[in-house]
């Protein structure tokens, strides 16, 4: 009995398109036959994907010996994420224990009709797709489906209790507010009208422009504003001055993340080159002050006199701000090296229930 949790045995798992494998040898159809397979479409710059990783790692640890095979299919959103060296660094940073298949041409993405990051599929021992969930969350539901499929292999298999929430905001009773939507920085952008640059000068594709911040009264959520010399790339906006380029971001959220890189130039990115010897740092100020430790994101470093900044040593997502509660703020980023590039801002809006917030230390925060 599956109680409606699983989809009927109708759709077979598509064959995996060929690609480069990391973190293990290629998995063949013969090796996968008779196993329960969890396929996770992800991207290492996607905040929702990264928030899912702790659960995937726990499920691998709990169920690999019982017949669960997890395959991470990495379909990159940005061009720089196609390069193996950057993905290998992310695999090491997040200590991912299961194999990763590169999907740079989106062939697997298309074969599975995937629409968003992350998307998880569960395949039963006979090769049927029995479960699909798109987006972050559904953790206990997914683990329950894993256990149900494993028991198809061995009905009397002893399995552990379902994982408790790994973060307070994942627990029942958490409150999720609507945060500022994801903002793209390049002139191609991700929306109908391109990137989210709010300066009246607009974008001049593949060219450098001297920008000045517009009046504060014109700032609005859903856009960011820059000051200084900036070059517009299809996927990014890169600082083209020597130091002191500013980005102002009005937002409403709990946490703020940014996809940053030392350079937006494709050749420099591929060869891990830096366009200047200056230290690739971005200062972070919120509401006119450097961040406090209560507000600082996990990637923030504190220097002299309370200076808060992040170091951009490779293309990746950085957690800039993690406020204790949902609210509206103005973030000001100062880019201190030529070439530093912004690709996107992402936001989260969930907070723990009052009871869970008081007992947050009982949750295993990754």
Backbone angles phi, psi at 156, to 5 degrees: -95, 20
Task: Count CB neighbours of 246 within 10 A.
Answer: 18
How many C-beta neighbours within 10 Å does residue 11 have?
Answer: 16
The verdict on 293 and 158 lying in the same domain is: no
pLDDT at 118 over 80: yes
Answer yes or no: is 85 within a domain.
Answer: yes
Angle among Cα 51, 96, 174 to the nearest 5 degrees reads 20
pLDDT of residue 366 exceeding 60: no
Is 360 contained in some domain?
no
Q: Tell whether 317 is covered by a domain.
A: yes
Last residue of a domain, one of 163, 194, 216: 163
Distances (CA, A) of 352 to 96, 127, 175, 349: 27, 38, 6, 10
Q: Is residue 1 part of a domain?
A: no
CB atoms within 10 A of CB 285: 18
Both 211 and 334 in a single domain? Answer: yes
**Rounded mean pLDDT of 61-86?**
97
Give a yes or no: residue 142 inside a domain. Answer: yes
Average pLDDT, the chain: 94
Query: Is the Cα dihedral 59, 64, 67, 70 positive or negative?
Result: positive
* 59 and 154 share one domain: yes
How far is residue 114's CA from residue 35's CA, in Å, rounded to a whole number?
22
The residue among 104, 133, 163 that closes a domain is 163
- The verdict on 259 and 294 lying in the same domain is yes
List the one residue out of 227, 222, 224 whose CA is nearest residue 241.
227
Residues 78, 203 within the same domain: no
Query: Which of 109-113, 146-150, 173-177, 294-298 comes out lowest in average pLDDT?
Result: 173-177
Q: At what angle do helices 47-63 and 139-153 cross, to 10 degrees?
A: 30
- Judged on CB neighbours under 10 Å (0-12, 13-18, 19+), 194 is middle
Q: Cα separations (Å) of 67 from 33, 141, 207, 301? A: 11, 19, 53, 42
Please tell me whether residues 267 and 159 are part of one structural domain.
Answer: no
Lowest-pLDDT range of 111-115, 286-290, 356-360: 356-360
- Decide which of 163, 195, 211 is a domain's last residue: 163
Q: Say how many domains are in the chain.
A: 2
Q: Is 16 a domain residue?
A: no
Q: pLDDT tens digit string along 191-203?
A: 555 799 999 999 9
CATH value at residue 64: 3.40.30.10
Domain shared by 51 and 116, yes or no: yes
Domain, as residue range, for 43: 21-163
* Whether residue 219 sits in one domain with residue 338: yes
Together in a domain, 213 and 329: yes
**312 and 226 within one domain:** yes
pLDDT, tens digit (0-9, with 9 covering 90-100), for 74-113: 999 999 999 999 999 999 999 999 999 999 999 999 999 9
pTM comes to 0.93
Tokens at 186, concatenated: 């390049």
Q: Give me the helices (H) in 9-112, please.
A: 29-32, 47-63, 84-93, 107-111
Residue 8 lies in a domain: no
339 and 193 within one domain = yes
* 14 occurs within a structural domain: no
Residues 187 and 156 occupy one common structural domain: no
What pLDDT is recorded for position 361? 39
The predicted pLDDT at position 357 comes to 46
Supply the CATH number for residue 192's domain: 2.60.120.260
Of 235, 234, 215, 233, which is closest to residue 225 (Cα–Cα)? 215
Give whole-number Cα distances, 66 to 60, 161, 220, in Å. 10, 15, 52
Per-residue pLDDT tens digits for 6-23: 999 999 999 999 999 999
């Amino acid at each position: 009995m599956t109680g409606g949790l699983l989809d009927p045995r109708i759709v077979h798992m598509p064959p995996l398109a060929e690609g480069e494998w990391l973190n293990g040898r290629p998995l063949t159809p013969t090796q996968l036959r008779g196993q329960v397979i969890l396929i996770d479409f992800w991207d290492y710059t996607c905040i929702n994907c990264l928030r899912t990783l702790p659960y995937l790692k726990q499920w691998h640890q709990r169920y690999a010996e019982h017949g669960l095979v997890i395959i991470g299919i990495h379909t990159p959103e940005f061009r720089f994420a196609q390069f193996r060296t950057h993905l290998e660094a992310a695999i090491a940073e997040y200590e991912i224990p299961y194999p990763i298949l590169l999907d740079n041409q989106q062939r697997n993405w298309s074969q599975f009709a995937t629409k968003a990051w992350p998307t998880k599929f569960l395949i039963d021992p006979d090769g049927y797709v029995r479960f699909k969930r798109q987006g972050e969350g559904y953790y206990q539901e997914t683990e329950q489906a894993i256990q149900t499929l494993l028991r198809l292999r061995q009905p009397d298999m002893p399995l552990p209790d379902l994982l408790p929430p790994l973060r307070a905001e994942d627990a029942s009773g958490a409150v999720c507010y609507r945060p500022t939507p994801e903002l793209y920085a390049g002139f191609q952008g991700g929306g109908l009208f391109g990137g989210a640059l709010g300066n009246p000068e607009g974008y001049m594709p593949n060219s450098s422009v001297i920008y000045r911040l517009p009046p504060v009264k014109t700032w609005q959520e859903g856009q960011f504003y820059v000051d200084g010399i900036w070059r517009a790339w299809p996927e990014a906006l890169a600082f083209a001055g020597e130091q002191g380029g500013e980005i102002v971001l009005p937002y409403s959220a709990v946490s703020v993340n940014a996809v940053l890189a030392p350079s937006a130039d494709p050749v420099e990115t591929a060869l891990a080159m830096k366009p200047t010897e200056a230290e690739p740092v971005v200062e972070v100020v919120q509401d006119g002050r450097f961040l406090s430790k209560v507000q600082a994101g996990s990637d923030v470093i504190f220097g002299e006199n309370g200076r808060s900044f992040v170091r951009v040593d490779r293309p990746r997502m950085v957690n800039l701000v993690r406020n204790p509660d949902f609210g509206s703020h103005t973030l000001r980023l100062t880019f201190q090296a030529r070439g530093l590039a912004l690709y996107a801002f992402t936001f989260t809006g969930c907070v723990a229930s009052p009871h869970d917030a008081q007992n947050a230390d009982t949750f295993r925060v990754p």
